[in-house]
Amino acid sequence: MKRTSPDRVRLVDVATAADVTKSIASRVLNGDPTVAVRPETRRRILRVAHDLGYEPHAGARALANSRTMALALIAPSTDNPPYITIARGAYRRAGEHGYLALLAEDFEEQPAGNSLVDGRRVDGLLMGSAVPGHPLVAHLRETAFPHVFVNRAVPGSNRNITMNVGRAGELAVEHLTDLGHRRIAHLAGPADVEQNSDRLTTLERAIRARDLPVIPPINGDFTEATGFACAPALLAAEPTAIFTSSPGQAIGVIRYLTDAGIPVPEAVSIIAYGDFPAAGFTVPSITTVALPLLELGAAAVDELVAQLDGEPPRDLVIPDEPRLHPRQSTAPAPTRPTLPL
């Protein structure tokens, strides 16, 4: 099937003869380690290219093999404190690998990742915004663009970089029950984020293991306004302690309790999932379960760079454990109800 025509064989000729798309043919011929094709398809493309006498344009090959040496972290919001910390860990580790790490916010009406992927403006994505049905998830799968999911888990993706979030809930319950609390309310995160579901399951398991009543959680976003708005519903369950899913929620709950004349922690203890520098300087200072977010960002970059170097993607739960930081917002449970009727 050797081609004898003096005309230059084009990439599209190879793709047509091998019955694949031009993109797949290009990536196979340029040795892209991330292209997802069967071995027999790869062999067919290489055989057709040889038989046709295909010679890639030198400039095009150089462009195809070039890297931007930049990675992008797609965050659900750039004012989300955990993702700022993850981004800091990613930025530092990316620099150690010779890459630049960028932070982009994911707008629902204009997903940030699409232009980065389609324009090959970065070499890979650290995807922190991955709620079920997110359009970029399917796009990444179709294009086989190098990526990992960080602090989010997409079932079946085999590229989830996560923490032991369940341990954080266990630490919170251990701390509160050691203080004598038996009614623990929980202000959870958004219901459509899988990580929150996993944390809820573990939290309820820890509560049941101590023969404590399970109070149905309340869902909301991670902001101070949500903590303030949800506080009345949380208090309706007559808890002696409240576990929030973010320091921001804790600040909102404490503000509501303070305005209502309910002392923290004398009447109600507050503990937050996640730590931030100001937690030690609020009044009262907030007890938190600190998460290994810097380590998570660094591990996500390591896994993404490994993909770019030809390693297969994998799921990874980092070994670093959450840490309890006891502060003024938690105290022994009151011996009798102290909430206003």
Helical ranges in the chain per DSSP H: 11-18, 22-29, 39-52, 58-65, 81-96, 112-118, 135-143, 165-178, 194-209, 224-235, 247-259, 293-308
Q: Please tell me the predicted confidence (pLDDT) of residue 250.
A: 97
DSSP conformation class of 312: P
Task: Tell me, yes or no, if the two domains 11-65 and 70-163+293-321 fold the same way.
Answer: no
Can you count the helices (H) and strands (E) in the chain? Answer: 12, 12
Distance CA 10, CA 27 (A): 14
> What was the pLDDT predicted at 37?
79
Write down the domain spans for the chain.
11-65, 70-163+293-321, 165-291
Residue linked to tokens 């050797």: 2
Strands 287-290 and 323-325: antiparallel
Closest CA to 172 of 252, 316, 274: 274
Residue 98 pLDDT = 85
Report DSSP state, residue 76.
Answer: S
Cβ atoms 325, 290 nearer than 8 A: yes
Residue 65 identity (one-letter amino acid): N
- Find tokens 């380590």 and name the residue: 295
Query: What CA dihedral angle connects 275, 75, 160 and 221, to 10 degrees?
Result: 60
Token pair recorded at residue 158: 């085999």
Question: What crossing angle do the helices spanning 81-96 and 293-308 adopt, rounded to 10°?
Answer: 50
pLDDT of residue 3: 42
Q: How high is the pLDDT of residue 195?
A: 66
Tell the residue number behind the tokens 């095009």, with chain if given. 60
pTM value is 0.74
Predicted pLDDT of residue 264: 97
Q: Which residue has the tokens 């219901």?
A: 191
Q: Regarding the domain delimited by 165-291, which CATH topology (the fold level of the hierarchy) does it fall under?
A: Rossmann fold (3.40.50)
For residue 260, which amino acid is it? A
Q: How far is CA 72 from CA 132, 203, 255, 262, in A?
A: 21, 32, 36, 44
Q: Average pLDDT per run of 10 along the chain, which is 341 residues long?
A: 56 90 79 74 88 70 66 83 90 90 72 69 85 73 87 88 91 97 94 73 92 95 95 97 95 97 97 92 96 96 90 93 97 76 45
Q: Is 180 left (phi over 0), alpha (psi -120 to 50) or beta?
A: left
Q: Are 252 and 341 in contact (CB under 8 A)?
A: no
Q: How many CB atoms lie within 10 A of CB 179?
A: 18
Question: How far is 189 from 153, CA to CA, in rounded Å?
Answer: 15
Q: Which fold has domain 11-65?
A: 434 Repressor (Amino-terminal Domain) (1.10.260)
Superfamily for domain range 70-163+293-321: Response regulator (3.40.50.2300)
